[in-house]
Amino acid sequence: MSLKDKIILGIDPGTTIMGFGLIRVNNQAMELIQLHELQLKKYNNHYLKLQKIFNSTIAIIDEFHPDQISIEAPFFGKNVQSMLKLGRAQGVAMAAGLSREIPITEYSPKKIKMSITGNGNATKEQVAKMLQSLSLIKEIPKNLDATDGLAAAVCHFYNQGKPQISKSYTGWKAFINQNTKKIKTSSWLVFIFIILSVARLAIIVISIFLPKLNIDNKCSRL
């Protein structure tokens, strides 16, 4: 697909700061449209954060009408809870794009860094400096989440037309067809999580009322 006169929205998912970068591509020329950061630190409720992510992504889509979305895939870390929260943030942003039927492509963090700097282990600062050298940004911002979002968009521009090595979705149907096993697995995981949660609740209830029952029994004997 040609990228003549196209708008690409790059997204860097996060639960503290969400980064967005919009570029316009005309032939082989890139032009920055906007950098945007969604600050989520002030929200303590994780589900409220997800709502803000969805609404903000929809607002950006409806204002700038991107033709394609490029999003950074969650990385695998040691902290399982952080990974789950990051995955939810990415999923909500993807859901916003899919609801507007915008094609979405996922790229690994290493792939994005490699595309921008030639080094898959580059730091956020090195990525930002390379974007600056490409004349996409004049100054490097304090927080680098927006430049990471911009990097995702530029990565997609560089990899357009190359053999597909990243996941790409054109809508809900495509997403479901490509993730049938994951969806089935997720359903079982949700079921197991519910069972474990009920069991945990039962243990808590028993631990609260059992001592009281023992005391009442002793008193009745006296």
The proportion of the chain whose per-residue pLDDT surpasses 70, expressed as a percent, equals 69
Q: Tell me: the pLDDT tens digits for 64-81?
A: 999 999 999 987 666 778
**Closest alpha carbon to 55 in 38, 32, 69, 80:** 38
When pLDDT is averaged across residues 11-30 and rounded to a whole number, the result is 94
Q: Residue 169: name the closest of 83, 100, 216, 117 by CA.
A: 100
- Whether 183 has a pLDDT exceeding 50, the answer reads no
Query: What is the band of 154 on the pLDDT scale with cuts at 50, 70, 90?
Result: very high
Cα first-last separation, the chain = 86
Distance CA 17, CA 140 (A): 16
* pLDDT for 70: 97
**Are 162 and 35 within 8 A, CB to CB?**
no
At residue 191, the pLDDT reads 53
For residue 21, pLDDT beyond 50 = yes
Q: Does domain 6-178 have CATH number 3.40.50.1860?
A: no
Contact at 8 Å (CB) between 40 and 49? Answer: yes
**Residues with catalytic function:** 12, 72, 145
Angle, nearest 10°, between helix axes 109-117 and 145-159? 80
Residue-averaged pLDDT of the chain: 82
Strands (E), the chain: 6-12, 17-26, 29-39, 68-72, 104-107, 168-169
